[in-house]
């Protein structure tokens, strides 16, 4: 019984460990700039399911307001490489406030669509509506063309008929607008939290004795020096005097908390 229980516990721990070790699953569309139509996002998620099932290729879209001075293509490449299985990913980054975009294609995905073909698709289907701020329209047209291209290259059917192009011409503030403003908002917040914690800690100072520790030290000193060992007679002040004396000296040395 005990062995079974141990085996069960070990299996549970292993499962938990595996789950912990898995990389974070990125959303298909990360619309941090809040410019895309909800049904378009659903449609793209559906196309991604099909490409993952039929071609083992994932499609990801990120919208951001700004990149804070970074190149869109560098950001796209770095972000794709941070995902699990980056070789199988096609990532489109739309930078709304900078009026720029970039696509990064993983090496496995390049077997289906080359960078040149991708540039041509972007120029023909995406560029004009994107610059006219029809972000959903641009993305829907581009995704439909991309699905067609992958279908032609692989011979597998990718149904893009459910894509719907809505109209969201003005970026509205999202729940957390900073997500779309900073390149790595989570990392920035982490740094900010660490800075706050470290300044608070430094302000407190981590040394010093508590009042109880001071009282204990005072009492021990009284026990050692407060009585004549041979005669057993009291010497000097009582325990409280020693405790207050220790308290005063600890202030003088800066040992108090």
Partner 1 sequence: MRKVSLTFLAILLLFVFTAASVTIGAVKGFRQEKAQVDSALGSLGPLFATRVETGNNLLTVAHRHLPPENALVEAVARNVQELSAQGPLPLRAQANTRLEENAKALLAALENTPGVQADSRDLSYVTGLLPQALDQSAQWTDAGSYNQAAMAFNERLNGTFSGFLARLFGEAEAQLFIP
Residues binding partner 1 (CB under 8 A): 65-69, 96-98, 133, 169-173, 177-178, 181-183, 188, 191-192, 194-196, 198-207, 252-255
Q: Which is nearer to partner 1, 194 or 234 (CB)?
A: 194
For the CB of residue 208, give the shortest distance to partner 1 in the complex, in Å: 9
Least Å from the CB of residue 69 to partner 1: 4
Q: Which is nearer to partner 1, 173 or 232 (CB)?
A: 173
CB of 116 or CB of 200, closer to partner 1: 200
- Nearest approach in angstroms of CB 240 to partner 1 is 24
User: Closest distance between partner 1 and the C-beta of residue 176, in Å?
Assistant: 10
DSSP string of the chain, one letter each residue: -HHHHHHHHHHHHHHHHHHHHSPPPPPSEEETT--S-HHHHHHHHHHHHHHHHHHS-EEEEEEES--TT--HHHHHHHHHHHSSSGGGEEEEEEETTTTEEEEEE-TTGGGTS-HHHHHHHIIIIIHHHHHTT-HHHHHHHHHHHHHHHHHHHH------TT-------SPPP-SSTHHHHSSSHHHHHHHHHHHHHHHHHHHH-S--B-HHHHHHHHHHHHHHHSB-TTT--B-SS-HHHHHHHHHHHHHHHT-B-
Instruction: Name which of 8 and 195 has its Cβ closer to partner 1.
Output: 195
């Amino acid at each position: 019984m005990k062995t079974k229980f141990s085996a069960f516990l070990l299996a549970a721990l292993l499962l938990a460990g595996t789950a912990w070790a898995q990389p974070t699953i990125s959303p298909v569309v990360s619309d941090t700039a809040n410019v895309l139509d909800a049904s378009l996002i659903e449609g793209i998620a559906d196309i991604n399911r099909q490409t993952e099932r039929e071609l083992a290729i994932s499609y990801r879209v990120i919208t951001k307001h700004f990149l804070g001075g970074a190149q869109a293509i560098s950001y796209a490449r770095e972000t794709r490489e941070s995902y699990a299985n980056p070789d199988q990913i096609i990532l489109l980054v739309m930078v709304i406030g900078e009026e720029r975009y970039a696509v990064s294609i993983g090496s496995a995905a390049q077997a289906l669509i080359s960078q040149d073909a991708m540039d041509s698709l972007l120029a023909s289907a995406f560029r004009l509506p994107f610059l006219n701020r029809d972000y959903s329209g641009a993305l829907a047209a581009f995704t439909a063309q991309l699905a067609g291209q992958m279908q032609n290259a692989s011979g597998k059917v990718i149904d893009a008929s459910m894509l719907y192009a809505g109209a969201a011409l003005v970026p509205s503030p999202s729940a957390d607008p900073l997500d779309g403003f900073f390149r790595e908002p989570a990392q920035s917040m982490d740094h900010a939290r660490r800075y706050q914690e470290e300044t608070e800690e430094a302000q407190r100072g981590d040394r010093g004795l508590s009042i109880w520790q001071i009282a204990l030290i005072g009492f021990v000193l009284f026990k050692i020096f407060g009585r004549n060992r041979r005669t057993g007679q009291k010497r000097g002040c009582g325990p409280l005097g020693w405790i207050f004396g220790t308290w005063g000296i600890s202030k003088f040395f800066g040992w108090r908390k």
